[in-house]
């Protein structure tokens, strides 16, 4: 077995060790990288939030589960922090059952840090089954779809809901998504009720949503961990997004290295077999 054959037959556990070290070491050592240029979709998202007047309500949908937390939790925390710092009211909903608990964690951790009060500055309405029917229902009457919040309080009696009946009273809706929920919010909340929609998504979903960004159906897009890091940088509060960037950089380099080595080995073997 020659050198290139040995490379191609490399035990996959070495590949796994490389990925594990690429992720674990930068995070445990606290390695931070300079972020550089903010991508336009993230900047547009930030600008959309900046354009809102203090006191305006923002609807945030937590449509993801624990598997996407590494990418979407840093986004959620940065966006919630930005909204609270701008004195915007936050109304959270969830089309995914797991979204209720994830929203609660984000709101309580950031809310406590910012001195925000549950029920006055933010509310977690929780999960409601029905997907498209829920999205459409919120355009008619939010308290009809959610008579109670996730803690069992009457929605219409909460200070944070004062003057908020439907999309008509909400200048911006944000979907934090790990699945196809943004298409529902765009198709029904935006197209039917002209609701401004922005999204925070996992990086793998980006190609599906860029067309909507270009048409203006999405006013901003925070894309993956890089988007989270950029948003953290914009609000001058670094968290797991920025810390995760070093791990992601090294993991990407490791994969690129493997692809290059794999291709060199493949062509060397092909050449040898021809000779």
Partner 1 sequence: MKLQVPLVITFLVGVFMAVQFFVPHEVGQGGYEMLLKWARLVGAFALVLGIGSLWRTHGDKIRRRRPDWPYSVVALVSFVVMVVLGIVYGHGEHTGFDWVFRHIQVPLDATMFALLAFFVASAAFRTFRARSVEATLLLVTALVVMLGRVPIGELLYHRMPQVSEWIMTVPTVAGKRGILLGVALGAAATALRIILGIERSHLGGAGGSGEGE
Give yes or no for residue 140 binding partner 1 (CB under 8 A): yes
User: Contact, 88 vs 201, CB < 8 A?
Assistant: no
Give yes or no for residue 236 binding partner 1 (CB under 8 A): no
101, 114, 235, 268: residue in contact with partner 1 (rule CB under 8 A)? 101
Within 172-211, the residues that bind partner 1 by CB under 8 A are 192, 203, 206-208, 210-211
Give yes or no for residue 55 binding partner 1 (CB under 8 A): no
Count the residues in the chain.
275
Which residue's CB is nearer to partner 1, number 83 or number 145?
A: 145
Please name every residue paired with 127 in a beta bridge, in sequence order, or none if there are none.
94
Helix (H, G, I), strand (E, B) or coil at 173: strand
Instruction: Please give the biggest Cα pair distance in the chain.
Output: 81
Which residue's CB is nearer to partner 1, number 55 or number 191?
A: 191
Which residue's CB is nearer to partner 1, number 84 or number 95?
A: 95
For the stretch 19-48, what's the b/e string if a residue is b when 16 or more beta carbons lie within 10 angstroms of its beta carbon? eeebbeebeeeeeeeebeebeebbebbbeb
Nearest distance from C-beta of residue 45 to partner 1, angstroms: 15
Which residue's CB is nearer to partner 1, number 56 or number 146?
A: 146
User: Contact, 72 vs 200, CB < 8 A?
Assistant: yes
Which residue's CB is nearer to partner 1, number 88 or number 244?
A: 244
Instruction: Say how many residues touch partner 1, by CB under 8 A.
Output: 70
User: Contact, 222 vs 228, CB < 8 A?
Assistant: yes
Give yes or no for residue 268 binding partner 1 (CB under 8 A): no
What number of other Cβ atoms are within 10 A of residue 99's Cβ? 26
119, 137, 171, 179: residue in contact with partner 1 (rule CB under 8 A)? 137
Which residue's CB is nearer to partner 1, number 220 or number 224?
A: 224
Site pattern 12..51 for partner 1 (x: CB under 8 A): x--xx-xxx--x---------xxxxx-xx-----------
Name the burial class of residue 227, with classes exposed (0-12), middle (13-18) and buried (19+) by CB atoms within 10 angstroms of its CB. Answer: buried
What number of other Cβ atoms are within 10 A of residue 62's Cβ? 32
Q: Give the start-end residues of each E strand in the chain.
A: 57-63, 89-94, 122-127, 172-177, 197-201, 221-223
Q: Provide the binding-site residues for partner 1, judged by CB under 8 A.
A: 8, 10, 12, 15-16, 18-20, 23, 33-37, 39-40, 65-70, 98, 100-101, 104, 108, 128-134, 136-137, 140, 144-145, 150-152, 192, 203, 206-208, 210-211, 214, 224, 226, 245-246, 248-256, 258-259, 261-263, 266-267
């Amino acid at each position: 077995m020659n050198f290139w054959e040995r490379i191609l037959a490399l035990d996959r556990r070495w590949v796994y060790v490389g990925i594990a070290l690429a992720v674990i070491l930068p995070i445990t050592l606290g390695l931070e990288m300079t972020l550089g240029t903010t991508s336009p979709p993230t900047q547009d998202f930030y600008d959309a939030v900046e354009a809102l007047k203090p006191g305006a309500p923002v609807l945030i949908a937590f449509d993801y589960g624990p598997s996407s937390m590494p990418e979407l939790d840093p986004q959620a925390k940065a966006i919630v922090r930005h909204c609270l710092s701008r004195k915007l009211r936050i109304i959270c909903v969830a089309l995914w059952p797991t979204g209720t608990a994830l929203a609660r964690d984000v709101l309580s951790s950031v809310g406590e840090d910012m001195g925000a009060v549950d029920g006055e500055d933010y509310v977690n309405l929780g999960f409601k089954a029905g997907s498209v029917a829920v999205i459409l229902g919120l355009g008619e009457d939010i308290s009809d779809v959610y008579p109670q919040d996730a803690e069992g309080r009457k929605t219409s009696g909460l200070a944070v809901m004062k003057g908020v009946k439907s999309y008509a009273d909400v200048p911006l809706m944000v979907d934090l998504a790990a699945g196809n929920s943004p298409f529902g919010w765009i198709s029904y909340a935006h197209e039917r009720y002209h609701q401004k929609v922005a999204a925070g998504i996992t990086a793998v979903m980006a190609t599906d949503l860029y067309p909507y960004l270009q048409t203006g159906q999405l006013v901003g897009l925070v894309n993956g961990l890089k988007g989270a890091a950029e948003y953290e940088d914009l609000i001058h509060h670094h968290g797991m997004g920025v810390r995760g960037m070093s791990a992601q950089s090294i993991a990407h380099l490791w994969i690129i290295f493997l692809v290059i080595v794999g291709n060199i080995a493949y062509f060397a073997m092909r050449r040898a077999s021809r000779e």
